[in-house]
């Protein structure tokens, strides 16, 4: 029976794409290499599909005896049964860059070369798509790199300007709070609060999507989200996840900047609630610790209110929660400078205040120029008796 090589399969395999089965190739050569921390010997194979040949194939060390005992030799035809991809080094003059480890094969003995294979060169590596966590069998858009996601980002405040309907812009949102799934006679719903570092928004998922998102989405993690339905409501705005929505976890956080780019308190108090801001000010008052009931956590949590002041002589109230209240248990010889990243602005009964959330960070007396400026300013104000 004539054997046909799997033309085009080397191009697919070396670009990280699963080739169509069966994968039948011809062995044109090999060399032995010593690799890995254990200095194990591997056979590097030169394989041909009749169109291209490439040496980015390695024989699993457990199959070395096939060559050592003469069962596998030059010119033979093999059928690759099992393999795995390994992303190799990026060389400027070698392409493609995916290596393939052959873990199981079947030998078909032939000696005559098939076709006129040429070296596979100057082939751009095809990257595997990023994983869409919303896997439900419905077709969705495909993205291949974080750079591609970042280029199309839009802020919540910009989404709020859109009319209700499908939103195809990319949002980068951190899950602040995920509530228990609610079950009704007609549907199940998952309600979440997410934020982009400036604004917060309500996100919901229904039925099968609700079950999937409840399993995989975690509080304090950040996700790229697009292809959702945007709904304007009189009191709030909402994003609804759909069967075709794309949800990709953000695995690489932007490095934190030690400095805090804050806005003066007098301007901050003019901003709309439910937005996130960085704060830095001198702590001039520390309230007592209170115990507050948190139904979602099914336990009490500590709360403490502190008063901060900045160089505009404007004071703000900051609510601190959980273990962070202990930062203010000690006696300070001098009022500390408090720096906060991602505090949320709230309003209750007409009064505005700031509160820490799960992904907020708070630092006392940070080693920054802004903190030293505030410390000097406050010392001068106190010495002049203006405070």
pLDDT at 176: 86
User: 95: helix, coil or strand?
Assistant: coil
pLDDT of residue 231: 84
pLDDT at 164: 79
Structural domains of the chain, ranges and CATH numbers in brackets: 9-119 (2.40.50.140), 146-249 (2.40.50.140), 265-383 (2.40.50.140)
Pairing type for strands 222-226 and 237-240 reads unpaired
Q: What are phi and psi of 101, to 5 degrees?
A: -100, 120
Exposure string for 373-385, b = 16+ CB within 10 A, e = fewer: ebbeebeeeeeee
pLDDT at 96: 53
How far is CA 379 from each of CA 310, 366, 372, rounded to the nearest angstrom? 12, 17, 11
pLDDT at residue 301, as a whole number:
86
Tokens of 180: 């228990």
For residue 91, the model assigns a pLDDT of 40
Closest CA to 25 of 1, 61, 67, 54: 54
Tokens (6 digits) for 32: 């032995």
What's the average pLDDT block by block, 10 residues per block, for the chain (387 residues)? 82 79 90 78 91 90 89 89 74 59 86 64 64 76 82 78 82 89 92 83 90 89 91 77 91 52 85 87 92 72 92 93 87 88 88 87 88 91 73
Question: How many Cβ atoms from other residues are within 10 Å of residue 86's Cβ?
Answer: 12
- Contact between residue 85 and residue 56 where contact means Cβ atoms under 8 Å apart: no
- For residue 260, what are its two tokens? 């805090």
- Separation in Å, CA 84 to CA 11, 13, 57, 218: 15, 10, 10, 30
pTM beyond 0.85, yes or no? no
The confidence score (pLDDT) of residue 102 equals: 93
What is the per-residue DSSP string for 61-92?
GGGHHHHHTTSS-TT-EEEEEEEEEEE----S
């Amino acid at each position: 029976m004539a054997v046909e090589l799997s033309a085009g399969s080397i191009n697919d395999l070396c670009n990280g794409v699963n080739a169509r089965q069966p994968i039948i190739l011809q062995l044109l050569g090999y060399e032995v290499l010593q690799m890995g921390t254990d200095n194990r010997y591997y056979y590097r194979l030169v394989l041909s599909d009749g169109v291209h040949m490439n040496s980015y194939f390695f024989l699993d060390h457990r199959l070395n005896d096939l060559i050592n005992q003469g069962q596998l030799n030059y010119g033979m035809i093999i059928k690759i049964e099992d393999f795995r991809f390994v992303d190799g080094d990026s060389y400027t003059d070698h392409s493609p860059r995916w290596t393939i480890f052959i873990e199981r094969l079947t030998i078909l003995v032939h000696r005559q070369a098939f076709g006129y294979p040429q070296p596979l060169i100057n082939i751009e590596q095809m990257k595997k798509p990023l994983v869409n966590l919303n896997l439900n069998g419905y077709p969705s858009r495909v993205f291949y790199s974080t750079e591609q996601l970042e280029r199309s980002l839009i802020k919540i405040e910009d989404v709020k300007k859109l009319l209700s309907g499908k939103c195809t812009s990319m949002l980068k949102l951190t899950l602040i709070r995920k509530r228990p799934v609610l079950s009704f006679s007609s549907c199940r719903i998952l309600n979440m609060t997410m934020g982009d570092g400036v604004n917060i928004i309500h996100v919901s998922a229904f039925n099968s999507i609700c079950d999937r998102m409840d399993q995989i989405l975690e509080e304090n993690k950040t996700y790229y989200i697009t292809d959702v339905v945007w709904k304007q409501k009189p009191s709030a705005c909402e994003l609804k996840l759909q069967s075709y929505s794309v949800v990709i976890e953000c695995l690489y956080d932007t490095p934190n900047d030690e400095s805090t780019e804050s806005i003066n308190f007098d301007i901050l108090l003019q901003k709309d609630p439910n937005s996130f801001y960085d704060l830095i000010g001198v702590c001039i008052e520390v309230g007592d610790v209170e115990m507050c009931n948190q139904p979602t956590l099914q336990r009490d949590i500590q709360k403490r209110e502190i008063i901060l002041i900045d160089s505009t002589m404007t004071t703000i109230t900051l609510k601190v929660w959980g273990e962070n209240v202990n930062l203010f248990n000690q006696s300070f010889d001098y009022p500390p400078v408090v720096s906060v990243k991602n505090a949320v602005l709230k309003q209750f009964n007409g009064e505005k205040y700031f509160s820490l959330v799960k992904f907020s960070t708070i630092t006392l007396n940070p080693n920054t120029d802004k903190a030293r400026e505030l410390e000097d300013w406050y010392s001068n104000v106190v010495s002049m008796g203006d405070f």
